[in-house]
Amino acid sequence: MSEKENMNERASSGQNDLQAGSSGPHGSISRKLRDFYDAVQEEAIPDRFLDLLEKLDQAERNAQAQAR
């Protein structure tokens, strides 16, 4: 088996471990990453970011109005 095939097989095996939620090291990492992602996803967006997004939207609307 070539080195490329070995790498593909290891990557495929790792993906299967992550998807299956195995109890091996990949499963543990997968669970921790999933927990971290869930925690970050539940965090509120800071007001300063919302303000920046609103300013960006306004600038885009102004640019579109000027292009017409």
Nearest to 65 by CA among 51, 33, 57: 57
Residues 12-45 pLDDT 10s: 555 554 455 556 778 889 999 999 999 999 999 9
pLDDT at 65: 93
pLDDT at 8: 60
pLDDT at 43: 92
Indicate whether 46 pLDDT > 90: yes
> Higher model confidence: residue 48 or residue 22?
48
N-to-C CA span, the chain: 61
pLDDT at 37: 94
Q: What global pTM score does this model have?
A: 0.42
